[in-house]
Structure formats: structure tokens, C-alpha cells
Chain A
């Protein structure tokens, strides 16, 4: 017993636990950068300061200020970086969308297609406001993240419904990932990713011992018992079904990847990762052999320029050209030709605009910002004291990381392109709103994790002795 207990260390944070003033300073910084970018893009596009600059800056500042005040009141010990980085990403996204709104090519394209061209930036600002409203709502209403644990199986049902519903709606742009209600449409997958992380953490917290300990060792890998393989098979089957019926590789990859990451974190068994990679590879290859939509995506990934030459979609080819012409420092905001991508230039392909106009340096900076959000999430998981909070924080940050990887990889030609959005930056209401909710839950978990332990209440005994003391 002694050998196992003697060489341990306790690591706890010293110094002021509440970092709200740091957060405020970073927030001011995070609002100034997009305003600067806005001025830069306006000067480059039309030789004058954009007219909406003041209102835009004030709008973003107001959203950030409201967020900050609510965090100060309801999550005083929360991580100081999550809110500023989310604000900065959202602000940069608004600038990039506004910049693409000014493009004459995109307006001409819309006119040729017989649609009225409507700028997306004002809508996106409204969605951002809704996102911050949800952020505020989660912080105020969710007193403790452990409450979510009670809804483990309810959240499973809700997530399944959200994932299955889009199958009954008509496909848009080749994928069934939207629910359309009149002129209004939402992408339920974005919300499902948060809800399913709640389910996985609640489920794995209860079952992880069975999954981790009851296993046989074979060739250096722990093989789980057959009946413990059940859940991973079910989730795998689900993601294959999504792939087949919704023809959406991104959502499918996101859910399966999320599950494998959480299984690994919960059980510390490398074999889950090996199994997960094998199963996802087998599933993806299997589906790609008979599903024409997935096949065309794979073709466009392997030979983007051939496909463009033969009259197929030239989006990926244009995106690659955009990255190439950006070089190291980029062409400057508003001076690139990334609007040649045409369709989805301001949503799925917005990273190509970053790549062209901000160059390698800007793209790396942006990816680092995403990395920092994920790092703060993982750090929150390390600091969290309850297993549910740990798993939830890991799950949410893993979902975020996988989503960034899937989109960025798709746009850069690393993996086949899928219809997912770059969190916070890409145009799209569901995405922005869901990601603000995700950040709110992370902030809530980190508040609980970083809160200092309560000071011991003086017992009645102690009070009495103080009377006796001379």
C-alpha cells in the first residue's frame, strides 16, 4: 500500500481564482480586432470607412459586454479565455461574411440563378445576438451542470429524434441535414452534438468500469467482452445510417468520433481507438462503394481539378486556388478573389477566404484560436472534480475539435468535403447559436471546477473554546 501512495503530488491553482478582469481586458481586445478588420476590408473594397462601422462595433461590444456581465454574476470563477475567444471568432466571422456580401460576383451569381441577392451579415448579427441570448440563458438557468446528468436517457431520445428528423425532409444541396419549416430552416445536428455529449457522459460515467475492467488482453490490446461491445456497435450503426440516409459524412464522423474519444477518456483503453478507427474506415469505404452522392464527394476530393474541368463543381478547386494565391501573408482583407468559389463561399468555404486574404499566417492564427478553445475545454475537464463534468467538458471540446477538423480538412483537401460549418465564423444561424450554448456549458463546468473549496465552517466547539481562551 505504501508504495502506491507515497509518490503522489497534489496540484492546485494558486493565486486569485477569479480572473474576471483579465477576461474583460481580453474582451476589449477581442472587440477591437474585428472592428479593425472591418475598417481594413471597407477601405480596400470601397476606399472609404464602411458606414456601418460604429453600429457594428457597438453591436459586437454590447453582446460581449452582456456576456461578460452575466459571467461575472453567474459564473465568477469561470475560465477567462473562453468568452473572449468566442467573441473574437464571431466578430471575425461577421467581417468575413460582410466582406463576401460586397462581392459583385456573388450578387451577379444570385441574379443569374433568378434569386434576389440578400446580404447575410445583418442576419448573422441577429443570429449572433440570439446565440449570446442562449449563452446568457444557459448561464442563468443551469445552476449546476450535474443537473444534466438526470436527463441522460431523455437526452439520448432527444438526440436521436434530432438526428433522424431531417431524413423526412427534402434534401437540400445533396444532404438531408435540415428541418424546413416554411421559409425557416434549422440544422438539428448542431444542437444534437451538445445533447449527445450529455448522453455519452451520463452513460459512460455509469458504465465505464464494466467497459474498462472486464476485458481480455490479446496482443497488447485489451479486448472488451462481446456484450460490452454493444454500445459502440449501436453508435457505429447509427452513424452509418446517418451516412446512408442523410448522405452527410460530417455529422456521421462527428458522432462516431465523439463517442470514441469519450470512450477512450472514460476507460483509458487504447483498444477503443484502434477499434473506432477500423470501424469508421470500414464503414466509410463500405458506404462510399454504393452511395453515389458520397462517391462524387470522394471524386471531388481526389481529383478536384479534373472534376472542375469536366463540368462538375469547381468549389474545391477554387478553394485550393484561393489558399495558394494567399501565400504567407495573404492578399489583404477585401482584396482576394475567394468569391469565385460561388455557392457556400460564406458558409462551408469561409476558411478559403481566410486562407486567401489573411494567408498562412492568418489561417494559423485562426486555427490556434480554435485550438485554444479546445485546450481550455480539456483543461476544464482536468480540473473538474466530478466524473460527469470531466466527461462532459471533454465531450464538448472533442465535438468542437472534430468539427473544426472536418471542415478545415474538407476545405483544404485533406479529407472529402462535408457539409459542416466552421464554428462561429461560417454563416448559418443554427451553428452560431449552438456553439454559443456549447461555450456556455463549458464556462459553467469550468466555474464549478475552478471555484475554491469552501472555507471550513467554524464549529460550535471552536466558538466555545474562543470564549475560554485568555
Chain B
């Protein structure tokens, strides 16, 4: 076999080996950039340097999420949950078909720091048609949609305020 062929094969093999490593690292990339970062921090006005990276993070995340959920999302369906009043004002959570739990318990999706909230206060989840439902989980002080206290799981209209203690959340596009 000619020297040239062997040299080409030798370098070709190294190239293929490294290509495998690079492709493997690309697969891992999804662990870093395909993640959803849900900020549960309070929007404190006093510390302007901290929220900066968080905002960047949130801004950079949505295009990816939209790419992945593309086609699945219905027209007019809400894409995020926004806290509009209370200590967590400004927090958003992307809606991707997962159940969102609210309450003082530490493992809740949105941890409410509120004396009027129960530890497992309410949950928000999509039903089979993709309609988002809010359900009170037997809280002490109740969950309000607009002005009415919830007694059964209720579909959430876009933009309707859900009040839990001092916190108000709503679904937005």
C-alpha cells in the first residue's frame, strides 16, 4: 500500500475520532442550553446588578423553547405565567405542558412567601385539550379567579387575575 494512502487514512482516522468527540459534545450541549431556568427570586429593586444576568438568561431561553414546542402550541394559547403582584412580581414561568404548583412548600414551582398562602395552595395544569386549569388544593384562605373563590377546577381565561393571598398571577401569550 502506498505511503500516501496510509498517511491519508491515518489522519482521516484521527479526524473521524475527533469528529465523534465533537458530535458527542454537541449532544451534551442540550444539557446546558436546552434547560429551562425558572427564576424564583424576589424582584428586589435595591440590587440592580443581580437581576441583569437573570434577565439575559430569560431572554435567551425563549427562542429555544419556542423552537422545541413549535407546532404543538395552539394559536391563542398562553405561553407563560406571570406574577403581577406580590413579593415575586415580575417572575415568569414558561408553560410547556407541565403542572405548576403554588404554595409555601419548598418544592413548589412557585414558592409563595406569604402568610396567607398554604403550603400546598393551588396548582395549574393543562387538561387533555391543552386548556389550562387552576385548582385549589384545599387551601385555608382560598384561591380567587377574578373575584370568585374557586371550589372546583376551573379553566383560566387569558389575562384573568388569579389571587392567592397578596400574590396575583395571570396567564399571558
Contact = CB atoms under 8 A, between A and B. Distances in A.
A369 B25 CA distance: 10
Q: Which of A40, A84, A359 has the most CB of B within 10 A?
A: A40
B31 interface: yes
B77 interface: no
Interface residues of B, number: 53
Interface string A80-100: 110011001000000000000
Nearest to A335: B6
A11 interface: yes
Interface in B108-140: 109, 111, 113, 123, 125, 127, 133, 135
Nearest to B11: A329
Interface string A1-21: 110011111111111100100
Contact of A9 (B24, B31, B37, B65): B37
B38 A9 contact: yes
Interface stretch (A199-207, A255-263, A283-291, A450-458): A450-458
A71 B99 CA distance: 28
B35 A365 contact: no
A362 B14 contact: yes
B80 to A, nearest CB: 13
A372 interface: yes
B7 A88 contact: no
- From DSSP, what is the main secondary structure of chain A's interface residues? helix
A329 to B, nearest CB: 6
A11 B36 contact: yes
A15 B28 contact: no
B39 A9 contact: yes
A332 B7 contact: yes
B98 interface: yes
Given A33-B17, A47-B1, A81-B24, A8 B6 contact: no
B64 interface: yes
A144 B18 CA distance: 35
Contacts of B10: 40, 329-333
A375 B34 contact: no
B42 interface: yes
A453 B99 CA distance: 9
Nearest to B128: A458
Contacts of A80: 27
Nearest to B68: A15
A366 B21 CA distance: 9
B20 A13 contact: no
A362 B24 contact: no
Given A6-B113, A14-B68, A26-B27, A453 B98 contact: yes
A: interface residue count bin: 35 or more
Contacts of B41: 6-9
Given A2-B113, A362-B17, A461-B153, A372 B38 contact: no
B35 A11 contact: yes
B1 A372 contact: no
Contacts of A379: 28, 31
A214 interface: no
Given A6-B41, A332-B7, A365-B14, A462 B24 contact: no
Nearest to A2: B113
Interface in B34-90: 34-42, 44, 50, 64-65, 68, 87
A169 interface: no
B154 to A, nearest CB: 8
Given A11-B36, A16-B68, 9 more contacts: A5-B113, A19-B27, A36-B13, A47-B1, A81-B24, A81-B28, A369-B20, A455-B99, A465-B154
25 contacts: A5-B111, A6-B44, A7-B40, A9-B41, A11-B37, A13-B30, A13-B36, A15-B34, A29-B20, A36-B12, A43-B6, A43-B9, A85-B24, A329-B10, A329-B14, A330-B10, A332-B6, A358-B13, A358-B14, A361-B18, A365-B14, A379-B28, A453-B98, A462-B152, A462-B153
Query: A-B pairs with the 7 shortest C-beta distances?
Result: A332-B10, A465-B152, A6-B42, A7-B41, A10-B38, A14-B36, A365-B17
Interface of A: 1-2, 5-16, 19, 22, 26, 29-30, 32-33, 36-37, 39-40, 43-44, 47, 80-81, 84-85, 88, 329-333, 335, 358-359, 361-362, 365-366, 368-369, 372, 375-376, 379, 453, 455-456, 458-459, 461-462, 464-465, 468-469
Interface of B: 1, 5-7, 9-14, 16-18, 20-21, 23-25, 27-28, 30-31, 34-42, 44, 50, 64-65, 68, 87, 96, 98-99, 106, 109, 111, 113, 123, 125, 127, 133, 135, 152-155
